[in-house]
């Protein structure tokens, strides 16, 4: 009697009823935060166990969806899964079907710390390795997603600051498991930068969550950036975000726009500097002209003083001065004052009584004539007198 009152199911019907109940009890999509355990790919599908430490459930990303995922978890990764219930009625098994899969912030930061500490230990991250940025780069390469608002801001900033620099835009993916693609572009540029005339590169990505920047914590990519032959500037995410790529770069900018500000000179500053240099040149030129004018005036005065008439006048003045001096020293002038010139018979002027002997004939010249005399006696002046 009791059996006749209970619902009667076949196994197939029972499983189908359970499936209908589950579908009505869950939203079409939901979020699950968990740690990943035992991830493995079977027949192109990714199977993994989601656990929170107290319970676990199987999850699967079908091959068609797996190819679209930008992140592949490894053992112990924290993940956020966008999923739905997948119930197989034929064997009454249950799994979370993965629609999207992303790492949690804790997973991202854990990888960041692991790679950062490794590169610090090896000396790849080192302030002394950082190179100075070119002052006036002829050309730079911008590696970012195209099109994007970040690129538009960078192009506008470059045009405003320094339109003389040629910009080489190189599209790259900037989210997901794309480290190898970025490395391929970097490898090409490292061989071609001289032919392209590139003086520096900018690796940029616009805003987003820290989880979106996980690719820039990739070890191989960061080693490629650290060994790049020309300066590297990063402008990744927001000001508060920091990746391992920022640590190995020659300059880390807070945003893509700030990266262009750091790399390109300011047109207004350069204009102001040129105006200052121009004024200094004008001042120096005026000083030189003034000095040369003064020099020419001095030379003009010298030349004027050396004109023939001037020289004749100067010589006449000198001769007059000498003539006046001769007149002042003239013997006639002394004779007129009462002095006399005594000469011996040879006509030699006598200076001392020692030049005269007794009975010598002498000639005395006065101002108005001469007297011939004979020396009768010589009286020498005593030394004591």
pLDDT at 165: 96
CB 228 within 8 A of CB 203: no
Lowest mean pLDDT among 116-130, 271-285, 353-367: 353-367
pLDDT at 48: 94
What CATH number is given to the structural domain containing 57? Answer: 2.40.50.140
Beta-strand relationship, 200-205 and 232-236: parallel
Per-residue pLDDT, averaged over 170-191, amounts to 93
pLDDT at 3: 58
Per-residue pLDDT, averaged over 207-229, amounts to 92
pLDDT at 10: 82
Counting residues of the chain whose pLDDT is more than 70, the rounded percentage is 98
Q: List beta partners, residue 289.
A: none
Whether 132 and 209 share a structural domain:
yes
Confidence of residue 1 (pLDDT cuts 50, 70, 90): very low
Confidence of residue 366 (pLDDT cuts 50, 70, 90): confident
Whether 147 and 96 share a structural domain:
no
Q: Does position 385 have pLDDT exceeding 80, yes or no?
A: no
DSSP 103-165: E-HHHHHHHHHHHHHHHHHHTSS-GGGPPPPPSS-SEEEEEE-SS-HHHHHHHHHHHHH-TTS
In this structure, the number of other CB atoms found within 10 A of the CB of residue 295 comes to 10
Q: List beta partners, residue 366.
A: 369
pLDDT at 212: 86
Whether 122 and 249 share a structural domain:
yes
Rounded CA-CA distance 65/80 in Å is 16
pLDDT at 364: 82
Q: Does position 162 have pLDDT exceeding 50, yes or no?
A: yes
Q: Residue 104 contacts by C-beta under 8 Å, 6 or more apart in sequence?
A: 33, 77, 78, 79, 80, 211
Per-residue pLDDT, averaged over 355-360, amounts to 82
Instruction: At 358, list the tokens.
Output: 């007794």
CB 96 within 8 A of CB 50: yes
Whether 64 and 6 share a structural domain:
yes
Instruction: At 148, list the tokens.
Output: 């994007």
CB 222 within 8 A of CB 119: yes
Question: Pick from 268, 259, 211, 214: which is nearest to 235 by CA?
Answer: 259
Q: List beta partners, residue 374.
A: 361
H/E segment holding residue 188: helix 179-196
If you average pLDDT over every residue of the chain, what do you get?
A: 88
Confidence of residue 383 (pLDDT cuts 50, 70, 90): low
Whether 61 and 188 share a structural domain:
no
Per-residue pLDDT, averaged over 102-113, amounts to 89
In this structure, the number of other CB atoms found within 10 A of the CB of residue 206 comes to 22
Per-residue pLDDT, averaged over 48-64, amounts to 91
DSSP 220-269: HHHHHHHT-SS-EEEEES-TT---HHHHHSSEEESSHHHHHHHHSPPHHH
Model pTM score = 0.64
Domain count, the chain: 3
Q: Does position 78 have pLDDT exceeding 70, yes or no?
A: yes
Confidence of residue 367 (pLDDT cuts 50, 70, 90): confident
Question: Which range among 25-39, 253-267, 325-339, 347-361 has the greatest average pLDDT?
Answer: 253-267
293 in a domain, yes or no?
Answer: no
Confidence of residue 217 (pLDDT cuts 50, 70, 90): very high
Whether 81 and 129 share a structural domain:
no
279 in a domain, yes or no?
Answer: no
Question: Pick from 148, 115, 71, 137: which is nearest to 245 by CA?
Answer: 115
291 in a domain, yes or no?
Answer: no
Q: Does position 378 have pLDDT exceeding 80, yes or no?
A: yes
In this structure, the number of other CB atoms found within 10 A of the CB of residue 340 comes to 12
CB 31 within 8 A of CB 102: no
203 in a domain, yes or no?
Answer: yes
Q: At what angle do helices 149-161 and 256-263 cross, to 10 degrees?
A: 20
pLDDT at 20: 83
319 in a domain, yes or no?
Answer: no
Burial of 86 (0-12, 13-18, 19+ CB in 10 A): middle
Choose the final residue of a domain: 209, 233, 265. Answer: 265
Q: Which residue has the higher pLDDT, 209 or 162?
A: 162
Whether 117 and 254 share a structural domain:
yes
Whether 191 and 205 share a structural domain:
yes
pLDDT at 50: 93
Per-residue pLDDT, averaged over 342-356, amounts to 83
Q: Does position 2 have pLDDT exceeding 60, yes or no?
A: no
Q: Residue 235 contacts by C-beta under 8 Å, 6 or more apart in sequence?
A: 150, 154, 202, 203, 204, 205, 253, 254, 255, 256, 257, 258, 259, 260
Whether 22 and 49 share a structural domain:
yes
pLDDT at 7: 82
Whether 97 and 126 share a structural domain:
no
Tell me: the pLDDT tens digits for 119-140? Answer: 999 999 999 999 999 999 999 9
Q: What angle do CA 98, 38, 107 make, to 5 degrees?
A: 70
Give the domain range for residue 70: 2-103
Whether 73 and 197 share a structural domain:
no
CB 263 within 8 A of CB 233: yes
H/E segment holding residue 100: strand 93-103
List the beta strands (DSSP E) in 26-92: 30-42, 45-51, 56-61, 78-88
Tell me: the pLDDT tens digits for 4-49? Answer: 678 888 888 888 888 888 877 777 888 998 989 999 999 999 999 9
Rounded CA-CA distance 306/277 in Å is 43
Lowest mean pLDDT among 128-132, 162-166, 210-214, 324-328: 324-328
């Amino acid at each position: 009697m009791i059996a006749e009152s209970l619902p009667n199911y076949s196994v197939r019907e029972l499983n189908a009823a359970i499936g209908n109940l589950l579908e009505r009890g869950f939203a079409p999509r939901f979020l699950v935060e968990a740690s990943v355990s035992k991830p493995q790919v079977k027949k192109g599908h990714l199977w993994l166990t989601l656990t929170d430490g107290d319970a676990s459930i199987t999850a699967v990303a079908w091959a068609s969806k797996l190819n679209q995922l930008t992140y592949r978890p490894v053992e112990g990764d924290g993940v956020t899964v966008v999923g739905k219930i997948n119930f197989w009625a034929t064997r009454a098994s249950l799994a979370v079907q993965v629609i999207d899969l992303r790492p949690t912030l804790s997973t991202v930061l854990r990888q960041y710390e692991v790679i950062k500490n490794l590169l610090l230990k090896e000396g790849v991250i080192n302030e002394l390795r950082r190179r100075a940025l070119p002052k006036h780069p002829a050309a730079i390469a911008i590696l970012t997603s195209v099109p994007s608002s970040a690129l538009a801001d960078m192009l506008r900033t470059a045009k405003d600051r320094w339109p003389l620099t040629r910009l080489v835009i190189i599209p790259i993916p900037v989210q997901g498991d794309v480290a190898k693609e970025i490395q391929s572009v970097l490898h090409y540029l490292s061989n071609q930068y001289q032919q392209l005339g590139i003086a520096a590169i900018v690796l940029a990505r616009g805003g987003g969550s820290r989880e979106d920047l996980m690719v820039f914590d990739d070890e191989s990519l960061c080693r490629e950036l650290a060994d790049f032959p020309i300066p590297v500037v990063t402008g990744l995410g927001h000001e508060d975000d920091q990746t391992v790529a920022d640590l190995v770069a020659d300059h880390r900018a807070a945003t893509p726009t700030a990266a262009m500000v750091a790399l390109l000179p300011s047109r207004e500053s350069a204009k102001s500097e040129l105006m200052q240099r121009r004024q200094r040149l004008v001042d120096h030129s005026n000083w030189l002209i003034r000095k040369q004018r003064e020099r020419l005036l001095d030379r003009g005065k010298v030349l004027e003083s050396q004109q023939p008439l001037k020289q004749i006048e100067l010589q006449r003045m000198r001769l007059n001065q000498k003539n006046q001096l001769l007149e002042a020293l003239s013997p006639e002038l002394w004779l007129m004052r009462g002095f006399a010139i005594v000469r011996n018979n040879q006509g030699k002027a006598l200076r001392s009584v020692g030049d005269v002997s007794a009975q010598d004939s002498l000639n005395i010249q006065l101002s108005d004539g001469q007297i011939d005399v004979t020396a009768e006696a010589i009286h020498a002046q005593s030394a004591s007198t």
